[in-house]
Amino acid sequence: MINSNFSRRNFLGLAAGAAGAAALAACGSSGPEDKSGGSSGGGGGAASYWSLSGEPGEPIRQAAIDRFNKANPDTKITPTFFQNDAYKQKIKTALGADQGPTMIWGWGGGGLKEYVNSNQVEDLTDWLGQNAAVKDKILPSSFGAATVNGKIYALPVETVQPIVLFYNKKVFEKVGVEPPKSWGEIMALVPKFNAQKIAPFSLGGQSRWTNMMWLEFLLDRTAGSEVFDRVFAGEKDAWSDPAVLDMLTKIQDLVKANGFQKGFSSTTADSNADQALLYTGKAAMMLHGSWSYGIQKADGGNFVKDGGLGWMNFPPVEGGKGDPSNTVGNPGQYLSISSKATTEAKDLAKKFFSTTLVDDEEKAGWVKSGGVPVLKNSDSLFTGDDAAFLKDMSAIASNAKVFAQSWDQALSPTAAETLLDNIAKLFQLQVSPQQWVDAMNGVIGK
Amino acid sequence: MTTIAPPVVRTKGSNRSSGGRSGSGSVTWMALPAFVWFVLFGIIPLFGVLFLSFTTWNGIGDISVTGLTSWKATLTDPGLPHALWITFVIMALSWAVQTPMSILIGVFLATSKRYRELLAVLYFIPLLLSSAAIAITFKALLDPNFGLGAGLGIDALNQDWLGNSTLAMATLIFIVSWQFIPFHSLIYQGAVRQIPTSMYEASQIDGAGRVRQFFSITLPQLKYTIITSSTLMVVGSLTFFDLIYVLTGGGPGDSTRTLALEMYQKGFQANLMGPASAIAVILVLVGLALSLLLRRLGGRADESQLEGV
């Protein structure tokens, strides 16, 4: 066992060095200096904050920090924004080298658990106990993914994001068909759209987690949420459920029927190419997180304004046991405080948590972006163009019997990587459903 | 005069000898920075990785020494032979495509004619671009929905270039070749220019045509250049990462997942630094073995190619 920080930092550096071009390309540009980092100390009232770049979230995150810095002129929070997929690796590398930020943005769940096990993040349970007013402002359902072993390690922030089935109303009108109400209807729509040279579904398959959303919903609709609960609990051979084989076969049937756009496995979600397919009318439907609404609105010109975008909860599967009100997605985003930060920086972060992040402007900002805030009592803000969407998302989130966290966020990063890898192969028809089950059973509980 | 001369000679002599000593000293000193950097960033990390391959570490927690666990996990993983195979396929195919093209272009550009010099400048352009930029550009151009084919309405260009396993590999080889042929052409151009013109003049008198000259003089004379360029290609293709990572991410599925990508995914996505380090060690061993093999193939370095010239 090597426990000292020095050695850990050293070995990470060594590993990166020897990986040569590979590692350099991946993590070469070392992050901005953490002004509040463990060893630097001293510096008055500064904290760093890392989060995701891009519309619609980045401007609102930036606005929150600007608001805080303006209200507290003698202190300063410095934000840095990264692309989604790049951030996931960046933050791990930085934390391993003790170069992490004061405030760590994340998805909660399995990733947060790993930080907790490595003593990287502060336990906020007591602080939230003392500041019950802060806790009371946030939806209780959002705290589930922030809780590890009964303790809260992150503040739920930003928005509740169920995954929904988006569709292009104009395309449906053009082809003369109705939105699907069941899995059978989905499969019946596929050849109709293909005949018109429109892709039935848009999918950013290279990002892999996009494919995973299909498995999450299909498994839930056929067998309910219990099957994945058993996987999550680490039960032996938990994937060996007939419903899993059934679900995997359905997915491969959809792939074989050209249910997704040509080249879906080389389309990336980070570049929003999958979103573009929907608003340009090259694809009819897309299963995606509710944040997609903001992207469609920002990038799609008048598409959303003219009422082109439709949405619904994922339809039921014939004979399926799952509750059709169930949904999957992100019950919130999460901000943790680094345990390696100075007391000063930690206090500054807590001040940021208890003031700016739960204020009305924050709430209004996220509503304006087309999101349902994790903050309570936002329904009255649902007015204007986005009211219909926001009300529906809020209803889906609050009416869901089970609001499951996305699998890759709930599982440990190691298990999630194997899952995503096998899902990509499934969509590529490289593995059969049975091979998929065997491979996944092999890594349960790891 | 003669009484003055000896001291001058003596000073000269002592100067020379002390100059020689300090000269050799300064040479050693000059090598030191490079040596320090090499040890710091080449040798020490190598041992660091070797050590890490006998441990279990998730990248952010504590490192625990677990003996051969990581090696067992790596060597029994079906992903390893697959990644090795993909690496060798890319290596072999990109060599087979690049070498003949580079030699031909190099020979073509070696002749000093104005328009060829202009062409040489144009051919050089891909070399100025970074791999990531090349990958992003090609990815955008080859997109079946928004790319070149869709934009110009040319259906033949509308293939699933990066989403079909076989096509993705072929596309990758094409882009790698597009990127690196200019570099190797440059090497061959220089080498061809060094071949003595007297050889060509002699063969012309003997009645040899251009094709005969190419196969009997140019190609044999390029032997060592071919070995150098091949070594660069082979060892270079082992570490292809940025291009593939941006272009396909190792996909579709795992169709273009090379050893370097496998290592990255194990280490930085699955948080398994132990097995990732084991793969890194394998990568180093394969690289060393290959460059050794290529040196052997080259034969004795001191045998002359210019006998009788």
Contact B239 A417 (CB under 8 A): no
CB-based contact A254:A190 (threshold 8 Å): yes
Tell me the C-alpha distance between B39 and A188, whole Å.
64
DSSP element (H, E) containing B225: helix B223-238
* Reported confidence tier of residue A25, pLDDT bands at 50, 70, 90: very low
* Any domain includes B37: no
Cβ neighbourhood burial of A159 (10 Å; 0-12, 13-18, 19+): buried
For every residue of A311-351, DSSP letters joined together read EEPPPPPTT--S-TT-EEEES-EEEEEBTTS-HHHHHHHHH
pLDDT of residue A15: 39
Q: Is residue B52 part of a domain?
A: no
Task: Indicate whether B50 belongs to any domain.
Answer: no
Q: CA-to-CA distance for A90 and A38, rounded, in angstroms?
A: 18
Q: Tokens for A130?
A: 């003392």
- Condensed to tens digits (0 to 9), the pLDDT of residues A191-219 reads 999 999 999 999 999 999 999 999 999 99
Per-residue confidence band for B91, with pLDDT thresholds at 50, 70 and 90 = very high
| Average pLDDT score over residue span B84-102 | 94
Segment A309-344, tens digit of pLDDT: 999 999 999 988 889 999 999 989 999 999 999 999
**B168: number of Cβ within 10 Å:** 24
Residue A6: count other Cβ atoms within 10 Å of its Cβ.
10
Give the integer Cα–Cα distance in Å for B70 and B67: 8
Question: Looking at residue B304, what is its pLDDT?
Answer: 61
> Is B35 part of a structural domain of the chain?
no
Going along chain A from its start, the domains and CATH numbers come out as 42-158+332-377 (3.40.190.10), 161-329+406-441 (3.40.190.10)
Q: Tell me whether residue B2 is in a domain.
A: no
The first and second tokens of residue B17, run together, are: 């000898």
Sign of CA dihedral A220, A221, A222, A226: positive
Whole-structure pTM over 0.90, yes or no? no
Contact residues, chain A, for B253 at CB < 8 Å:
265, 424-425, 427-428, 430
pLDDT, position A1: 36
Query: Which candidate in A258, A265, A414, A425 is best for mutational testing of the B interface (most B CBs within 10 A)?
Result: A265
Cα→Cα distances A193→A179, A187, A258, A261, A412, Å: 12, 11, 10, 11, 38
Q: Across residues A253-268, what is the average pLDDT?
A: 92
Tokens 């677990």 found at: B66
Residue type for position A440: M
Ranges assigned E (strand) in A38-88: 46-52, 76-82
Strands A199-201 and B64-65, by their bridges, are: unpaired
pLDDT above 60 (res A29): no
pLDDT at B60 over 90: no
- The region of weakest confidence among A38-42, B110-114, B196-200 is A38-42
| Segments forming the whole domain that contains residue B196 | 84-297
DSSP string across A192-203: HHHHTT-EEE--
Q: What mean pLDDT comes out for the span A418-443?
A: 93
Please answer yes or no on whether B139 and A266 come within 8 Å at the CB atom: yes
Domain of residue B115, CATH code: 1.10.3720.10
Structure tokens at B54: 């006998």
Q: What is the pLDDT of residues A346-381, one digit of tens each?
A: 999 999 999 999 998 999 999 888 889 999 888 888
For chains A and B, count residue pairs whose Cβ atoms are closer than 8 Å: 178
pLDDT cut 90: percent of chain B above it:
35
User: How confident is the model at residue A274, as a pLDDT?
Assistant: 92
What average pLDDT does this structure show over A286-296? 92
Q: Give the nearest partner residue to A428 out of B47, B65, B253, using CB atoms.
A: B253
Q: Identify the H or E element spanning B131.
A: helix B131-142
Q: B200 in a domain, yes or no?
A: yes
pLDDT in the model for residue A58: 92
Residue B9 in this model has a pLDDT that exceeds 70: no
Prediction ipTM score: 0.78
- Please give the C-alpha separations between residue A32 and each of A293, B78, B206, in angstroms, as whole numbers: 32, 38, 69
User: From residue A72, how far is each of A78, A246, A379, B226 by CA, in Å?
Assistant: 13, 57, 30, 66
pLDDT for the residue numbered A27: 38
- CB pair distance less than 8 Å for B165 and A430: yes
Q: Write out chain B residues lying below 8 Å of A95, CB-based.
A: 60
pLDDT digits (tens, 9 = 90+) for A68-99: 999 998 899 999 999 887 898 889 889 888 88
Residue A433 identity: P
Instruction: Concatenate the DSSP letters of all residues of A223-277 into one string.
Output: H-THHHHHHHTT-TTTT--HHHHHHHHHHHHHHHTT-B-TTGGG--TTTTHHHHH
Inside any domain, residue B176: yes
**Contact across the interface for A414 and B58, Cβ inside 8 Å:** yes
A121 forms bridges with which residues in the sheet?
A338
What is the pLDDT averaged over residues B9-34? 58
In-domain check, residue B145 = yes
Q: Nearest CA of chain B to the CA of A413: how many Å?
A: 5
Instruction: Round to whole Å and give the CA distance between A35 and A43.
Output: 7
Give CA separation, B76 vs A442, B59, B72, B79, B82, in Å: 13, 22, 6, 9, 12
Q: Nearest CA to CA, how far is A337 from chain B (Å)?
A: 15
Phi/psi for A13 (5° steps) reads -60, -45
How distant, in Å, are the alpha carbons of B16, B19, B25, B26, B290 from that of B13? 5, 9, 18, 19, 50
C-beta separation of B160 from A266 below 8 A: yes
Hey, are the CB atoms on A114 and B271 less than 8 Å from each other? yes
Query: How many structural domains does chain B have?
Result: 1
CB contacts under 8 A, A 78-137 vs B, are 88-89, 92-93, 95-96, 114-115, 117-118, 120
Write down the pLDDT at residue A43: 42
Q: Which of A353, A380, A359, A381 is nearest to A368 (CA)?
A: A381
Q: What is the pLDDT of residue B305?
A: 65
Closest by CA position to A22, among listed B288, B95, B263, B27: B263
